[in-house]
A and B are shown apart, each in its own frame.
Chain A
Amino acid sequence: MNRLLTTLFLILFSASVTLNAQSAQGHFARIEGIVLEHGTIGTPVDYAMVSLDPSGVYTTTDSKGAFSFERVAPGKTTIKIQFVGMEAIDTTVNILPGTVHRFEFSMKIADFRLDEVVVIATQNKAGQATASNISRQAIDHMQASTLSDVLQLLPGQAMTNPSSSSANILTLRSLNPTSGNSSAVTQSNSLGTAVIIDGAQLSNNANMQTLSTTTTGNATMVGESSSYANTGVDTRTISLDNIESIEVIRGIASAEYGDMSSGAVIIKSKAGKEPLNIRFRTNPQYYGASISKGLSLGDKWGVLNLSGEYSYNNKAATESYRFYQNFTAKALWSSNLGSKFRHTTALDLIYGKDTRNLNPDDIRGKNASAATDLGLRFSSNGVLSIYKGWLSNIEYSVSGSYMDKHSWEEYLVGNGIAPHSINMINGSTITNTPGKKVYDKDGKEITNILSGSENAWTMYLPYEYFTHFDIYGKELNVTAKVKGTLFKSWGNVNNKIIGGLDFKTDGNLGRGFVYDDTTPPQRQGNYATFRPRPFNEVPFVNQFGIFLEDQFRATAGRHDMVLTAGARFDNVGGKNIITPRINAAVDIVPDLLTLKGGYGVAAKAPTALYLYPQNAYFDYLNLNTMTSENVDERLLIATTYVFNAENPDLKIQTRRTAEIGFDLKIKNRYRFSVTAYDALVNNGYMLAADPSTFHLVKFDQYQINSWTNGTPEIELANSANIFAYYSIPTNNLREHVRGIEYELDLGRFEDIRTSFYINGAYIRSSSGNSGYSFSTKENVSSNERHIGVYEKGLQTIEQELFNTTLRITHNIPRIGFVITLTTQVNWLDKAWYDIGNDEMFAHYISYKDGKMYPFDPSKKNDPEFSYLFESVASNRRDIESYRKTIFFNINVSKEIGDFLTASFYANNMFYSRPLHNSTKNPGTIYELGNQLFFGFDLKINIK
């Protein structure tokens, strides 16, 4: 598309002069150029970024708009020029040995008065990672307010309404199942999706804003919808209005990208002189305003871009007490030091807050909460051009961020009755009075006050109490990366080699999980109980990586071949992994058909939450007379069990992707591209129970026969072997996604001023827990029971989706008017469960010795085991096959004068909500489609 643009609109003057051997150094060539603003009389475009492909060298224009490259290898070379607010230039020229090439480029301001506006995602060239590029103009036209809105331009993405009422996490090539282990799949995929802003990768690795994962079996969010602790970053705090372009790598990324498994979203901020932009945006749940300006600080000091944004989101029109606010500010300085060094250095201020105020009608719950993120992020990246020998340049990037997070929640606990203790010592039996010893009628001590629990007490929580708890996190993330680019060419062969090192450290210095000792949060299942946890005792997670990649490009006649092969080595807290990545492309029929393919593995490091989960605590009651009417006869005896929930065998999550596809280009205009992929995660992170987390403990229950002078006569009433169990971080998550993405770009038909673009995907997904699953059903007649263990990978969620999205863009350049009609057809949408033998156990864990044994199927009706069998629904394997649906969205943008742009959109504009009669549960009717939704956006440009 860009190339097409260039040929149509770029006014390009080229002159080649053959120089003598001395200045052009024989084999090499020299490129000189000047970049001017289109439609002006020689107004230079300064600080424009100019890069050459394949050599990967880049530079910026000076105050006269001039640039130059020395020692350019001969052959096909792509010159790319980018500047804030301008249409990018992307043109391929043939460089001859020993010549000086001189070019004059003219850049156009990217507004809706261009003949051709790019409001779709454009694809990377074959041979590179499969990626979509989204321009500033596309973001403007679709009036995206968050990054997840932008991703709807990707093939196969379902159209959704924008919402910032909950954490916006990004997933790539995932169907995000909404049932079964849905949250684990989404969590794992989003955790593996890297978000990189100006070379600095954002990190959620030290986020622990959650209740204990061992107690709840999940990273339960606290404070409405603050970012989950075990997902990717919450992208609501990324302001879209200071973004120049977004590249979304969903295929096999370059080896330089580490700590990611699903793909990467690479954001480039606006860096360059720019008029003052003020923007207002609103929809029924949202209003926001932003301001941005790019200042020139003169030749020596470069440019400074300043921006700020505030937005307010209501959760629902009927719930004014639940909202999200967000304020961000960014200063970005880019300058050149001499002609060899260029850097971009940014400072971001980030503030986001989810609030749930007390609803005055909520008498029973009295629920209120908030989650605040306040942080600073510094990042700097730069490039030093060298051109010595093979070495073209050296790039660096460093970043540091500090996020102060505070989540709290309060509510009235109902049916809270449960034991609670401050005891931290495993196996220690204590009472409601610190240090008190209690004996049975034979004089044998029942209590067991171990060292460290002398001052501990246990209590019985009342039925109702008010709880307030806080989680204080102070996340510190530091990254550093150095990358060198080497380039060598001989004959028709180019070799670009990149190699480098990166280092990351993530830690949390917060006070952690804090609550009043006597009013903990409401107990969760299994009677595991809460304990406070300081985060500053959790070690930092350090990552060290080395990467090397060769991009090999050969030309044979008119055929080009590109092969990018690389690998990285990563070390995370003693765990090592090597991940290879290859992308290749051959143009079988030059200028018509290119075949492409790739294979790669990407790895996401475990986060602090997965490496260092909180211990599991259990308080088991041996005796309880706390409801006795006589205060002196209230006695509570409880035994505490503590288990380390770390999983020393936790491996690094990887995703293996294989791709094959072709690009077909007809008449240098129509483009049809198909990519088939197979992406497999079979060691994804997941919080789950494991046979090793079922611990057999002895549970003694005592009874009081009588009280004499305040002393009870106590007798053992019952003794049982019971299981304490909890969740640990595992690699049990499996997500296997296969798909075919397709894209048909018909370009613009001048006669009707309309362009047509179709994309879509067929996606087949299979995901689930590949580990054991358990039946923990109780034995009605006894506290002692076995644990039923089903075969591994008992159940997967199977999904199949096929959709097509047609975007028709009509524009009238003369009046700056653009209208896009988006039509999405969902041809196929199916979901079902693939379930193994869920009516028989493979093993059982015996309460007699705590060990796992094979299960003898003939014992199914044996009373010793029969209680373990769970009932299964007869339709559990039935397919839910949704009816075909079609939805329409409309986006309209109009420039008013040269200072105002107004945009409007309506999603599901015909309010189509077809009813679907469930094929799995006949009689149940679902309403499909999204709510009718609309929004308005006004941009003011003050020159």
Chain B
Amino acid sequence: MKKYIILLIAILLVSSCEQFSEISDVERVEGLNISLNLDASGISTEIPRPESYNVKFINYNDKFEVSTKSSNLTNVSVDGIIPGVYSVSITAEVIHNGFSYYYSGNLTNVTITDDGSFDVKIATAKTGALIIKEIYYCGSKTPSGGSYFRDQYYEIYNNSDGMIYIDGLCFGNLLPLTASATTPTWDIENQENYVFFDKVWQVPGNGTDYPLNPGESIIIAQMAANHQVDALNPACPVNLFSAEFETFINTTAIIADNPAHNMKIAFWQGYRTPQWLVTVFGGAYAMFFPDENTDFSVWTQQANSTTVAKEIPLDQIIDAVELVNDETKIQQKRIPAVLDAGATYVSGTYRGESVSRKIRETKEDGRVIYWDTNNTSEDFQVNPTPVPRRNGAKIPSWNTWAN
């Protein structure tokens, strides 16, 4: 009996050694090689070209990332890619005549299993002077653990060196309302050239009523009140009484028309709700100045749906920010990469957290310049609590009720 056991052990040992030797025979995985053909032909030749592109492959599932710089402007080859699903971003920045030009190209959700090449269209965006600086969208908890969402607000900042009139500025949220795996089909040609607004609010004024100096910001509150009063939410992190604007909806049951100026409803098709509530799961926002072609009395309809949207061409958008539910939804973003190549998120709904832009530099006079590379993933940070006029943003002089 013992003999057999020894024999058995011997056989096992031999065979396992065999397996080891098989493993040692396996070729080393070198990683895949992907080459990208970059096509920037659609960009006007008047715009200066960058020296190189920053190329980034991100595999969100495996938390794997490869970054490199391209050596030329038409082709880049990247090694060491493990098979998986990737988001690819190609970015570059050129400063010219006081404006920043952001080059970007994007591939989302590409499955890479073998060596290969992809074509990427490169587009460019001129960064405006106005940026969306902070967004507080997720709402807060009440003292008893309930949910509070009347305290949403948006801060818009003059990131440039010159004064800008914000009269007529339009701000709104985009469709689909939440990040979604299916992209809606719109009854419009070349829908990739537009963003689709669910609602558009407009700053009132005759053109010169609301100047915004460098380093100043405006706050657009859903409701410009002190939210910390007993009737609202004593546990709310913000007092928005000093907000410049509110998205006031006049009903027979209004809470109060606060001192803040009322934004105009520029586009709201469908039935009115008592408040402008954008999803606490994370909406997509954009702003623009209407031009002579912007007509809010016509709109675009979603195929097989009663949903309608105001379509605005991409090149008219000054700034856009994509917010999603969580990391798993980044690949379901709504905004084209040329406006926002990334997305960010807070830790959950009603957590009292906000997202705001990271500081790029602080001038000698204390004025802060924020990052705006049209990539929310890179440009934004998550804050444990919203702070209106964070980092010393100034209140415009015409806001007489703030003090």
Interface residues of A (CB under 8 A from B): 363-364, 366, 412, 414-415, 417-419, 460, 462-464, 466, 523, 527, 618-621, 624-629, 699, 701, 703, 722, 776-778, 780-781, 783, 861, 863, 866, 870-875, 920-921, 923
Find B297's partner among A419, A466, A701, A866 (CB 8 Å cutoff).
A866
Decide if A629 touches B226 in the complex (CB within 8 Å).
Answer: yes
12 new A-B contacts, CB < 8 A, other than A412-B146, A463-B231, A866-B297, are A364-B145, A364-B147, A415-B274, A462-B231, A527-B253, A620-B253, A624-B256, A627-B256, A703-B257, A776-B271, A871-B306, A874-B187
Q: Are A874 and B150 in contact (CB under 8 A)?
A: no
In the complex, the number of residue pairs spanning A and B with C-beta atoms less than 8 Å apart equals 109
B250 at the interface (CB under 8 A from A): yes
Contact of A621 with B254 in the complex, beta carbons under 8 Å? yes
Question: Contacts A412-B146, A463-B148, A629-B226 known; A527 to B252 CB distance under 8 Å?
Answer: yes
Q: A780's contact among B229, B265, B350, by CB below 8 Å, is which?
A: B265
For residue B268, CB closer than 8 A to chain A, the reply is yes
Which of B232, B269, B272, B297 has a CB less than 8 Å from the CB of A463? Answer: B232
Question: CB-nearest residue of chain B relative to A639?
Answer: B252
**In the complex, are the beta carbons of B271 and A463 less than 8 A apart?**
no
Which residues from B are CB-within-8-Å of A621? 252-254
- Considering the complex, give the chain A residue whose CB is closest to the CB of B305: A873
Q: Which residue of A lies closest to B268 (CB)?
A: A780
* Residues of chain B with a CB closer than 8 A to A464's CB: 142, 144, 146, 148, 233
Residues on A with C-beta less than 8 A from B66 are none
Q: A627-B229, A871-B270 are in contact. Are A783 and B250 (CB under 8 A)?
A: yes
B253→A874 contact, CB < 8 A: no
- Residues in B307-324 with C-beta less than 8 Å from chain A: 307-308
Which B residues lie within 8 Å of A781 (CB)?
265
A415 and B182 form a contact (CB under 8 A): no
10 nearest CB pairs, A to B: A875-B304, A620-B252, A363-B145, A780-B265, A462-B231, A778-B272, A871-B306, A871-B308, A873-B306, A418-B253
Task: Identify which of A776, A861, A871 contacts B301 (C-beta below 8 A).
Answer: A871
CB proximity of B331 to chain A, nearest CB, Å: 19
Q: Is the Cβ of B304 less than 8 Å from the Cβ of A874?
A: yes
Please indicate the chain B residues that have their CB under 8 angstroms from the CB of A627 in the complex. Answer: 225-226, 229, 231-232, 255-256
B143-172 at interface with A (beta carbon < 8 Å): 144-150
Q: Are A624 and B254 in contact (CB under 8 A)?
A: yes
B176 to chain A, nearest CB (A): 14
Say yes or no for B11: interface residue by CB 8 A criterion.
Answer: no
Q: Which residues of B contact A415 (CB under 8 A)?
A: 149-150, 274-275
Q: Using Cβ atoms and an 8 Å threshold, which residues of chain A touch B225?
A: 627
A-binding residues in B (CB < 8 A): 142, 144-150, 182, 187, 225-226, 229-233, 250-257, 265, 268-272, 274-275, 297, 301, 303-308, 350
Given contacts A627-B256, A699-B252, A777-B271, A872 and B147 within 8 Å (CB-CB): no
Given A412-B144, A871-B308, A875-B304: A463 and B252 interface contact (C-beta under 8 Å): no
Main secondary structure of the interface of A (DSSP, over half): loop
12 pairs, A vs B, C-beta closer than 8 Å: A363-B146, A412-B146, A418-B253, A464-B233, A527-B252, A621-B252, A624-B254, A627-B255, A783-B251, A871-B301, A873-B304, A923-B182
Contacts A783-B250, A866-B297, A871-B308 given; indicate if A778 touches B226 (C-beta within 8 A).
no
| Chain A residue with the shortest CB-CB distance to B275 | A415
Residue on B with the closest CB to A526?
B252
The reply to whether B265 and A460 contact each other, CB–CB distance below 8 Å, is no
Q: Is the CB of A871 within 8 A of B269?
A: yes
CB distance from B265 to the nearest CB of A (A): 4
Complex Cα distance, B225 from A625, in Å, reads 11
Q: With a 10 A CB-CB cut-off, give which of B253, B268, B297 has the most chain A CB atoms.
A: B253
- In angstroms, Cα B251 to Cα A620, docked, is 9
Question: Using Cβ atoms and an 8 Å threshold, which residues of chain B touch A777?
Answer: 270-271
User: Which chain B residue shows the least CB distance to A782?
Assistant: B250
Docked complex Cα distance between A193 and B253 (Å): 42
**C-alpha spacing A778/B272, complex, angstroms:** 7
Contacts of B232 in A (CB 8 A): 417, 462-463, 627
B110: shortest Cβ distance to chain A, in Å? 22
* Complex contacts, B304 vs chain A, CB 8 Å: 873-875, 920-921
Question: How long is the Cα–Cα vector from A777 to B308 in the complex, in angstroms?
Answer: 14
Give the Cβ gap from A881 to chain B, nearest Cβ, in Å. Answer: 16
Partner of A462, one of B230, B250, B265, B275: B230
Beta-carbon contact of A364 and B146 below 8 Å = yes
Chain A residues whose CB sits within 8 angstroms of the CB of B269 once the complex forms: 871
Closest to A529 in B: B253
Within 8 Å by CB of A527, from B230, B251, B257, lies B251
CA distance A872 to B270 in the complex (A): 11
A270 CB to closest chain B CB (Å) equals: 53
Closest chain-B Cβ to A835's Cβ sits at a distance in Å of: 12
Question: Which residues of B have CB within 8 Å of A463?
Answer: 142, 148, 150, 231-233
Q: Judge whether A624 and B146 touch: CB under 8 Å.
A: no
B397 to chain A, nearest CB (A): 23
Given that A629-B229, A873-B306 are contacting pairs, would A460 and B146 also be in contact in the complex, using a CB cutoff of 8 Å? no
Q: What is the minimal beta-carbon distance from A879 to any residue of chain B, in angstroms?
A: 13
Measured in the bound complex, the distance between the Cα atoms of B269 and A554 in whole Å is 69
Q: Closest approach, in angstroms, between the C-beta of A317 and any C-beta of chain B? A: 27
Chain B residue contacts of A629, Cβ below 8 A = 226, 229
Residues in A whose Cβ lies below 8 Å from that of B270: 777, 870-871
Contact A871-B148, Cβ < 8 Å, known A463-B231, A626-B256, A778-B271: no
CB distance from B275 to the nearest CB of A (A): 8
Closest beta carbon of chain A to B223's beta carbon, Å: 9
Of B230, B255, B271, most buried by chain A (CB within 10 Å of CB) is: B255
A221 to chain B, nearest CB (A): 24
Closest chain B CB from A637 CB (angstroms)? 12
B-side contacts of A870, CB under 8 Å: 270, 306
Contact check, A417 vs B268: say whether CB atoms are below 8 A apart.
no
Question: In the complex, what residues of A have CB within 8 A of residue B255's CB?
Answer: 417, 460, 624, 626-627
A722 B147 Cβ-Cβ under 8 A: no
Cα distance A866–B295 in the bound complex, in angstroms: 14
CB contacts (< 8 Å) of B305 on chain A: these are: 873
**Smallest Cβ distance from A541 to chain B, in angstroms?**
35
Q: How many Å lie between the Cα of A138 and that of B195 in the bound state?
A: 63
CB-CB nearest in chain B for A413: B146
Determine whether the beta carbon of A417 is less than 8 Å from that of B231. yes
Q: How far is the CB of B218 from chain A (nearest CB, A)?
A: 22
A-chain residues with CB within 8 Å of residue B146 when the two chains form the complex: 363-364, 412, 414, 464
For A923, list chain B residues within 8 Å (CB): 182
Tell me which residues across on chain B come within 8 A of A722, comparing CB atoms: 252
Closest residue to B232 on the A side, CB-wise?
Answer: A463
Q: How far is the CA of A776 from the CA of B272 in the complex (A)?
A: 10
Known A871-B269, A874-B301: A414·B226 in contact at CB below 8 Å: no
**Residue among A418, A619, A871 facing the most chain B CB atoms (10 A cut-off):** A871
- What is the bound-complex CA distance between A190 and B105, given in angstroms? 61
* Alpha-carbon distance between A703 and B262 when the two chains are bound, in angstroms: 15
Task: Report yes or no: A419 in contact with B306, Cβ–Cβ below 8 A.
Answer: no
Complex: how many Å from CA A363 to CA B142?
A: 11
Measured between alpha carbons, how far is A861 from B149 in the docked complex, in Å?
Answer: 36
Which chain B residues border A783 with CB–CB below 8 Å?
250-252
Q: Closest approach, in angstroms, between the C-beta of A466 and any C-beta of chain B?
A: 8
Shortest Cβ gap from B204 to chain A (Å): 12
Q: How far is the CA of A504 from the CA of B142 in the complex (A)?
A: 53
Q: In angstroms, how far is the closest chain B Cβ from the Cβ of A715? A: 13
In the bound complex, what is the Cα–Cα distance between A629 and B225 (angstroms)?
10
Q: Shortest distance in angstroms between B234's beta carbon and chain A's nearest beta carbon?
A: 10
In the complex, A701→B254 CA distance in Å?
10
Cα distance A527–B307 in the bound complex, in angstroms: 25
B144 contacts A872, CB within 8 Å? no
Q: Which residues of A contact B254 (CB under 8 A)?
A: 621, 624
Q: For B147, what are the chain A residues with a Cβ–Cβ distance below 8 Å?
A: 364, 414
A694 CB → nearest B CB, Å = 15
In Å, the complex CA distance between A627 and B252 comes to: 16
Q: Smallest distance from the beta carbon of A784 to chain B beta carbons, Å?
A: 11
State A625–B168 Cα separation when bound (angstroms).
29
